[in-house]
A and B are shown apart, each in its own frame.
Chain A
Amino acid sequence: MNPPNSPIEIVSHCALRVRFADRIRADLPALIQSVCQQLETLLGDHLTDLIPAYTSLLVIFNPQSVKLTEAQKILRQALTRASAQQNLNPPTSHQIPVYYGEETGWDLAWLSEQKALSIAQIIELHSQPTYQVYTIGFSPAFAYLAEIPERLAAPRRATPRLHIPAGGVGIADRQTAVYPLDSPGGWRILGRTPLDLSLKNPRNLTRFKIGDQIHFEPISRQIFQRLQK
């Protein structure tokens, strides 16, 4: 679908949503970023927040300063001007060390049985690809990464766990991510990174940007314990 013709949903008196596609595509993050950049300029002070996601963009504006019909018009204009080639942010590459061990990879055994793969094969499949950051959300600095190999794809747990420790590396469908904070979560946990991604270091908020590339690097228990300190 051409971006200018993407459907716009009226979500609230202060929010519009554009849906660009009905499935995840590798070219969408750059396109959506370009729409965001256009909106920063075109909406200016009327803009409150932008929430880019895999296939959609939620635009939140100040309804006291701009009418919904006007915001719709501006959004159409931004869609016309945007292009996937215009993305101005150069991507950064990140290496994330992960300890895929039995005490950190809570679902490794389950996954191994479900998929008839050895744990070594799971580690190899998960750490081989270079992942792209598709969006940031759910909680601060939580980067949604895709795509994991089809052979590894696993559904979320029926009942989410109440506590996944900060640094937990999980998969859900064909996505993967690191939990930056202790939180509840339904993703299947394969390991843990010793890196501190929490807001105790405020720079972590902007550590990952949409379009960045991420590579997981398997590490041993010894290195994990040393880096954790």
Chain B
Amino acid sequence: MTLFEVIKPGFLTTFQDQGRPGYRQYGLAVSGALDEASYAWGNALLDNDKQACSLEITLGQCQLKTLAPCQIAVTGADLAFTINHQSAPRYQALSLHQGDILHWSQAKQGMRAYLAIASGFQSEIHFGSRSVSLREGVGQPIQAGQILNGIAQTKSINIDRPFPQNALPSLCHANTLVLHMLPSDQFNDFSAASQQAFFQQTFQLSADSNRTGLRLQATQALSTPYANMISEGMLPGSIQIPPDGQPIIMMKEAPTIGGYPKIGTLFTTELNQLAQAMPGQKIRFQAENFIACENRQKRAYRRYYPYQAQKNTLAAISRPASQNVTMPP
């Protein structure tokens, strides 16, 4: 049924779910919500399936008109969210009436807010997922005048479901954001001077960043160990160093294969923080061994993810059999 009409689509507002695992062998990016923890909380607050589709609202300027009563939860960035021009809470299930105007005007803290609705948005499914992937032309951002569909509500939602305040992600990195990185085996191919320059300098997040990758501006040059590498697989969190020495952190729409050396990998918990970092954010890297990275990741799951998502956050959608690719309608 029709639930919302888009009045203003905003800078970039896209349908996102847990992404499309199983298609990277065909070159399709995994895509999905960039801040996994905030996305997971939206669905948890509404007792949704873990893979239910939400809207990822980037930086604001987004306005929706409610066409039918429904329940929602808004999580992630603080984009000055209002209902009928009244400030409205995040991380809480809310009931909407027909005619209610939802508005995210501007980024106060963080980059990406998530609008979850009870049972999830019913947008078009492409290759097993509703996630829009801009670089690949899979789906499109929402447009002014578009009608957004959901499912008529049959279950009642426990509107008092508590949200533990310490699970609120830290959205404001006034100082430097320190990212913990597992060095890759190619790390050892970089010169000692480049390794040092990588850890000693403070990078700045470039405005030339998107769901494909985050570009960092270096002040001390890094040199790549080789120009002609044999291209190989990478994943969200891989940090590539191209010949110009400006690192690129791969995000969820990144190409599956790349030809630049990778200095290391960031785990999901670091990527969730980066999903909320504004251009200009100061960033430093610290190397950690696998055990330390894994423990950090486990602590983050316990703290920032809702309980039921904790059990199986990453792969709720079943993979396609390799010989039998599901096609969109």
Interface residues of A, Cβ cutoff 8 Å to B: 7, 9-15, 17, 22-24, 36, 40, 45, 47-58, 60, 62-65, 68, 135-142, 144, 155, 173, 181, 183, 198-199, 202-203, 205-206
The distance in angstroms between the C-alpha atoms of A55 and B231, with both chains bound, is 9
Q: Is the CB of A12 within 8 A of B237?
A: yes
Q: Is the CB of A202 within 8 A of B127?
A: yes
B28 at the interface (CB under 8 A from A): yes
What string of 1s and 0s marks CB contacts (under 8 Å) between B1-36 and chain A? Answer: 000000000000000000001111111101000000
Q: Is the CB of B22 within 8 A of A11?
A: no
The distance in angstroms between the C-alpha atoms of A142 and B235, with both chains bound, is 17
What string of 1s and 0s marks CB contacts (under 8 Å) between B166-188 and chain A? Answer: 00000000000000001011000
Complex contacts, B297 vs chain A, CB 8 Å: 13
Measured CB to CB, the closest approach of chain A to B275, in angstroms, equals: 17
Q: Is the CB of A48 within 8 A of B315?
A: yes
Measured CB to CB, the closest approach of chain A to B301, in angstroms, equals: 8
The distance in angstroms between the C-alpha atoms of A55 and B232, with both chains bound, is 8
Q: Is the CB of A136 within 8 A of B232?
A: no
Complex contacts, A64 vs chain B, CB 8 Å: 311-315
Within 8 A of A (CB), among B220-260: 228, 230-235, 237-238, 255-258
Please name the residue on chain B nearest to A206 by beta carbon: B325
Interface of B is mostly: loop
The distance in angstroms between the C-alpha atoms of A140 and B255, with both chains bound, is 9
Known contacts A49-B22, A205-B127; A140/B27 CB under 8 A:
yes
The distance in angstroms between the C-alpha atoms of A56 and B259, with both chains bound, is 12
Measured CB to CB, the closest approach of chain B to A96, in angstroms, equals: 17
Measured CB to CB, the closest approach of chain A to B155, in angstroms, equals: 26
Q: Is the CB of A62 within 8 A of B232?
A: no
Interface residues on B, range: 35 or more
Q: Is the CB of B315 within 8 A of A62?
A: yes
Q: Is the CB of A53 within 8 A of B257?
A: yes
Contact of A53 among B228, B233, B237, B290 (CB under 8 A): B233
Q: Is the CB of A199 within 8 A of B27?
A: no
Q: Is the CB of A141 within 8 A of B327?
A: no
Complex contacts, A58 vs chain B, CB 8 Å: 232-235
Which of A24, A49, A57, A203 gathers the greatest number of chain B CB atoms within 10 Å? A49
Q: Is the CB of A51 within 8 A of B257?
A: yes
Q: Is the CB of A51 within 8 A of B230?
A: no
Within 8 A of A (CB), among B124-159: 127, 135-138
Contact of A51 among B24, B185, B325 (CB under 8 A): B24
Known contacts A9-B184, A23-B230, A58-B232; A140/B28 CB under 8 A:
yes
Nearest 6 Cβ contacts at the A-B interface: A58-B233, A137-B257, A51-B233, A62-B315, A49-B24, A53-B232
Complex contacts, A11 vs chain B, CB 8 Å: 182, 184, 235, 238, 265
Q: Is the CB of A62 within 8 A of B327?
A: no
Q: Is the CB of B315 within 8 A of A57?
A: no
What string of 1s and 0s marks CB contacts (under 8 Å) between B205-232 and chain A? Answer: 0000000000000000000000010111
The distance in angstroms between the C-alpha atoms of A53 and B127, with both chains bound, is 22
A-B contact pairs, 21 of them (CB 8 A): A9-B185, A11-B184, A11-B238, A12-B265, A12-B267, A14-B314, A17-B232, A17-B233, A50-B24, A51-B25, A51-B234, A54-B231, A64-B311, A136-B26, A138-B231, A138-B255, A140-B27, A140-B136, A141-B27, A183-B135, A199-B138
The distance in angstroms between the C-alpha atoms of A48 and B319, with both chains bound, is 7
B293 at the interface (CB under 8 A from A): yes
Please name the residue on chain B nearest to A61 by beta carbon: B315
Complex contacts, B185 vs chain A, CB 8 Å: 7, 9
Q: Is the CB of B27 within 8 A of A173?
A: no
The distance in angstroms between the C-alpha atoms of A49 and B232, with both chains bound, is 14
The distance in angstroms between the C-alpha atoms of A142 and B313, with both chains bound, is 30
Please name the residue on chain B nearest to A62 by beta carbon: B315
Q: Is the CB of A137 within 8 A of B315?
A: no
Extra pairs beyond A136-B26, A205-B127 (11, CB < 8 Å): A11-B238, A13-B297, A14-B314, A15-B235, A15-B265, A48-B319, A60-B21, A64-B311, A64-B314, A183-B135, A202-B327
B328 at the interface (CB under 8 A from A): yes
Which of B25, B322, B325 gathers the greatest number of chain A CB atoms within 10 Å? B25
Q: Is the CB of A144 within 8 A of B231?
A: yes
Q: Is the CB of A54 within 8 A of B235?
A: no
Known contacts A48-B314, A181-B137, A199-B138; A136/B235 CB under 8 A:
no
Which of B237, B293, B314 gathers the greatest number of chain A CB atoms within 10 Å? B314
The distance in angstroms between the C-alpha atoms of A205 and B137, with both chains bound, is 13
Please name the residue on chain B nearest to A47 by beta carbon: B319
Q: Is the CB of A49 within 8 A of B25?
A: yes
Known contacts A12-B182, A202-B328; A139/B294 CB under 8 A:
no
Q: Is the CB of B234 within 8 A of A49?
A: no
Q: Is the CB of A10 within 8 A of B136?
A: no
Complex contacts, B184 vs chain A, CB 8 Å: 9, 11
The distance in angstroms between the C-alpha atoms of A12 and B180, with both chains bound, is 12
The distance in angstroms between the C-alpha atoms of A138 and B137, with both chains bound, is 14
Please name the residue on chain B nearest to A49 by beta carbon: B24
Measured CB to CB, the closest approach of chain B to A64, in angstroms, equals: 5
The distance in angstroms between the C-alpha atoms of A126 and B187, with both chains bound, is 36
